[in-house]
Structure 1
């Protein structure tokens, strides 16, 4: 709903066009044009008043319906984690950990969820605790996609078994999707893609072993709306504005509505 024209403007916070410019949405002048056009919302309400002030730490801002992170103290980094790295900021056994990557940044970043030491691929690093909670908590059902090289030739009926559901020692589990990768089937090994939203420990490896195809190599290629793409192994990069917008949309949809 549009903001009430008779409602007094808040006097604390920062001007909306200034925080939009700082967030990299557009220049300050271009941000004013976006506001005039009714393309900016604050906490779900359209804002057209140029004097509007917002609190970057608490207010939810979107442009054309796409969420914008206006708190510039927040950082979101994608890592292509190599195997052999423990998903921890300190390992009590002295094994290589994530600090070799997080130490590259001024912010104190931490990992969202985990990847097994012998699994490589997409890991999100951030200092946004609220977003990390939504993305990592199993109740929110964020999808993860893995590519696995497994022993043996995987039959179509095995893929159907994975999606229909199997029983493990800690309860039933089903993949959301499972498919053979094009050209990835040999007599002694198969390359397949598995998508699921469970965050249970070593779940992909345990599922595939239970159907008779132990994992030789495992890579996470997608986390929610984020694709790993061509990011080199061991490299990091900040999320693009589009990726961050998709991630924030996912988190805000899962979180309780603002009162």
Structure 2
């Protein structure tokens, strides 16, 4: 059947496809019985339309499902991994110059994983590895502007005026840029002029943007770590370690990806 408000296709009880409760149970959302309760309660949408029929069938390859507004990945072959990339490692699967690359962190996973976006070699922190090409494209493409949070250790004592400048915007060689959020976390004076810790939130995907911004306001970066990517937080994951995203994190990431896709259509 066709939803007249969205034009999306939802297969009725007698149609081909997989029963909705079976597909969601296979995806690890909950048991079939619990999923059936979700359906009755109107907590599940197929292609943006709430469904309440227990006999509803879907096409797992094309239909988009969400539960309580959180997207669900029905393809259980998709893998989503968080890496705390250490410094000295380039964000590529094979570096032609022989530098340390990401292969050491993906070799223990049976799937062929690829990085979503990049962190430069001197920057550590949160990097996503996945075999979900559609999600990787959306989250990495500059036009989608996924928010990232960085902690930068910089040279010198950062003032409130400098924070204000970062928020109002500065001009770089490739155009203007401003931080979505900026705040001073700490500063300490030494005989060499001191140092400061600054937290910057940006949605720009431009190359080495944090380093160039801080250099432009007179505070070159000495250490840089990405603590957050979209809805994901690095937490206590040690440098050089990986872990699979939790079901909640995976849902949040997929929800963001689908929202960005719709807004940029």
**Same fold per TM (> 0.5)?**
yes
Contact 1:3/1:46 (CA < 8 Å) preserved in 2? no
Shift of 1:133: 1.3
What are structure 1's unaligned runs of at least 5 residues? none
Q: Which residue in 2 is equivalent to 1:204?
A: 210
Give the count of matched residue pairs. 254
Correspondences of 1:121-140 after superposition (within 5 Å) = 121-140=125-144
- Per-residue displacement from partner, 1:213-257 (whole Å, max 9, x unpaired)? 111100000001111111111111111122122212211112138
Q: Is contact 1:3-1:47 (8 Å) kept?
A: no
Distance (Å, rounded) in 2 between the aligned partners of 1:8 and 1:68: 20
Verify the 8 A CA contact 2:46 2:66 in the aligned structure 1.
Answer: yes
Paired with 1:80 and 1:248, the residues of 2 have a C-alpha distance of 20
Q: How does 1:155-174 map to 2 (within 5 A)?
A: 155-174=159-178
Q: Which residue of 1 aligns with 2:54?
A: 50
Superposition map of 1:150-189 within 5 A: 150-181=154-185, 184-187=186-189, 188-189=194-195
Which residue matches 1:242?
248
Preserved CA contact (<8 Å) 2:11 2:56: no
State the Cα distance separating 1:49 from its structure 2 match. Answer: 2.4
Cα deviations by residue, 1:149-180 (Å, 9 ceiling, x for unpaired): 00110011011111111111111111111101
**TM-superposition CA deviations, 1:17-38 (whole Å, max 9, x none):** 1121122111122112212222
Match runs of 1:55-204 below 5 Å: 55-181=59-185, 184-187=186-189, 188-204=194-210
**Residue 148 of structure 2 contacts residue 203 of structure 2 at CA under 8 Å; is this kept in 1?**
yes
The 3 A distance-change label for structure 1 pair 151 and 222 is same
Is 1:163–1:177's contact at 8 Å kept on the other side of the alignment? yes
Distance 1:186 1:10 in 2: 70
Change (3 A) 1:10 1:219: farther
Q: Distance in 2 between matches of 1:10 and 1:137?
A: 40
Aligned counterparts of 1:108 and 1:255: Cα–Cα separation in 2: 24
Call closer, same or farther: CA 1:13–1:7 in 2, change over 3 Å.
closer
Secondary structure, counterpart of 1:201 in structure 2: coil
Structure 2: gaps spanning 5 or more residues: 5-9
- In 2, Cα distance between the equivalents of 1:81 and 1:7? 44
| 2:11 and 2:17 in contact (8 A); partners too | no
What CA RMSD, in Å, does the superposition of the two structures yield over aligned residues?
Answer: 2.0
The Cα of 1:50 is off from its aligned counterpart by 2.4
TM-score (norm 2): 0.90
Cα contact 1:13–1:54 (8 A) shared by 2:
yes
Tell me the TM-score normalized by structure 1.
0.92
Query: Take 2:216 and 2:92, find their aligned partners in 1: how far apart are those partners?
Result: 28
Query: Residue in 1 aligned with 2:229?
Result: 223
Further displaced range: 10-19 or 145-154: 10-19
